[in-house]
Amino acid sequence: PKDKQELIDGIHRMKQEKNAVILAHYYVDEDIQDLADFVGDSLGLSQQAAATEADMIVFCGVHFMGETAKILSPHKKVVIPDMNAGCSLADSAPADKFAEFKAQYPDHIVLSYINCSAEIKALSDIIVTSSNALKIVQSLPPDQKIIFAPDANLGRFVSKKTGRDMVLWDGACIVHIDISLEKLNDLRTKYPNAKFIAHPECQEHILIHADFVGSTTALLNYVVEQPETEFIVGTEAGILHKMRQAVPNKKIIPAPANENNTCACSECPYMKMNTLEKLYNTLYYELPEIHVPEDIRVKAEASVLRMLEMSK
């Protein structure tokens, strides 16, 4: 196909023919969000991946998300548009280094943010996402010692909110740590009535200014449910698409990044590797396919299922 409409038509046709489901994260390209069967945050996407009746899961997000889908639905074919769509958080925690780190704290349980590899999930006791981390930590016995990996900013936020001391692995999201406080302050002066809302992957010096902190789905729900009409949004700019569709009359402003990139806001280079053309090819060739070695998958599945159970 040559043009955009031909790509979109082809994707819809192959999706039917192959009984495939397209799952997309809020941070991917708007056109992909518009044709996906489900768009959501990491928790919602993994719940969908576990429950789908489709034969093939096409995951438009990043590698660890496709892996999580395969962990939960091992008998389905799981494909992603670009194998190079990684994540700085997952990359921050190589399995061998993490196993050494974990061995230093034998009486701690390991809580890992879903943004990590299958190997790290296999070394973890419970997986969390930004929408259930507080609830899961609060449900643990007060004397339970905890390692939290790989996002130190989310870990610090959870620790502060719950009053629980946790040993943190020092990982970060390159996108969320790049929000500029100086430019944010300028923007808040310009829009004094705007609510500032942020994702917990942001640094503490940004989060302390937020009126609300939550996962991407929680941020979307917040702008829909709150009566205010102006919001400055501290997360990857892809989420603005669904916000603007949901509340077209409200002003949704992306929080500014340090460096002036194309949109002067925060964009994840990995999420943006998902293009319509690559999605078309992925459906056509059913490649590239995610594989997880069975010994790792079984251990990783236990920690992800614990999360799904504790999120009910």
User: Residue 169: CB partners within 8 Å, gap ≥ 6?
Assistant: 92, 93, 98, 101, 147, 148, 149, 150, 152, 155
Strand 230-234, strand 251-254: pairing: parallel
Q: Is residue 270 a contact point for ligand SF4 (CB under 6 A)? A: yes
Residue 47 vs 73, nearer CB to ligand 13P: 47
29, 41, 67, 82: which one binds ligand 13P (CB under 6 A): 41
Q: Is residue 115 a contact point for ligand 13P (CB under 6 A)? A: yes
Q: Is residue 42 a contact point for ligand 13P (CB under 6 A)? A: yes
- Residue 148 contact partner, candidates ligand SF4, ligand 13P, none, CB within 5 to 8 A by sort of partner: none
Please give the size of the binding site for ligand 13P, defined by CB under 6 A.
10
227 is in an annotated binding site: no
- Residue 215 contact partner, candidates ligand 13P, ligand SF4, none, CB within 5 to 8 A by sort of partner: ligand 13P
Q: Is the peptide bond prior to 288 cis by the omega test (within 30 degrees of 0)?
A: yes
284 is in an annotated binding site: no
Q: Is the peptide bond prior to 106 cis by the omega test (within 30 degrees of 0)?
A: no
114 is in an annotated binding site: yes
* Contact between residue 219 and residue 241 where contact means Cβ atoms under 8 Å apart: no
Q: How far is CA 129 from CA 32, 86, 249, 266, in A?
A: 23, 17, 30, 20
Determine the interface stretch with ligand SF4 among 1-9, 87-95, 221-229, 301-309 (rule: CB under 6 A): 87-95
Residue 115 vs 217, nearer CB to ligand SF4: 115
* Interface of this chain with ligand SF4, residues 160 to 189, rule: CB under 6 A: 173-175
List the alpha helices (DSSP H) in the chain.
4-17, 30-35, 42-51, 63-72, 88-91, 95-103, 118-122, 133-138, 152-162, 181-190, 204-207, 216-225, 239-246, 276-285, 294-310
* Contact between residue 77 and residue 289 where contact means Cβ atoms under 8 Å apart: yes
Q: How many residues does the chain have?
A: 312
- Residue 88 contact partner, candidates ligand SF4, ligand 13P, none, CB within 5 to 8 A by sort of partner: ligand SF4
Q: Is residue 215 a contact point for ligand 13P (CB under 6 A)? A: yes
207-217 burial: b if 16+ Cβ within 10 Å, else e? beebebbbbbb
* Contact between residue 14 and residue 79 where contact means Cβ atoms under 8 Å apart: no
* Interface of this chain with ligand SF4, residues 15 to 54, rule: CB under 6 A: 27
Q: Is residue 129 a contact point for ligand 13P (CB under 6 A)? A: yes
11, 21, 80, 89: which one binds ligand SF4 (CB under 6 A): 89
- Residue 174 contact partner, candidates ligand 13P, ligand SF4, none, CB within 5 to 8 A by sort of partner: ligand SF4
Q: Which residue has the tokens 């998300």?
A: 65
* Contact between residue 236 and residue 268 where contact means Cβ atoms under 8 Å apart: yes
Q: Is residue 130 a contact point for ligand 13P (CB under 6 A)? A: yes
48, 112, 203, 216: which one binds ligand 13P (CB under 6 A): 216
Sign of CA dihedral 277, 280, 282, 284: negative
Interior angle at CA 92, CA 196 and CA 240, nearest 5: 30
277 is in an annotated binding site: no
Neighbours of 312 (CB within 10 A): 5
Q: Is residue 98 a contact point for ligand SF4 (CB under 6 A)? A: no
- Binding-site residue ranges: 25, 42, 87, 113-115, 130, 173, 199-201, 216, 268
Contacts to ligand 13P by CB under 6 A: 41-42, 115, 129-130, 173, 199, 201, 215-216
- Binding-site residue ranges for iminosuccinate: 25, 42, 113-115, 130, 199-201, 216
Contacts to ligand SF4 by CB under 6 A: 27, 62, 87-89, 115, 173-175, 201, 236, 268, 270-271
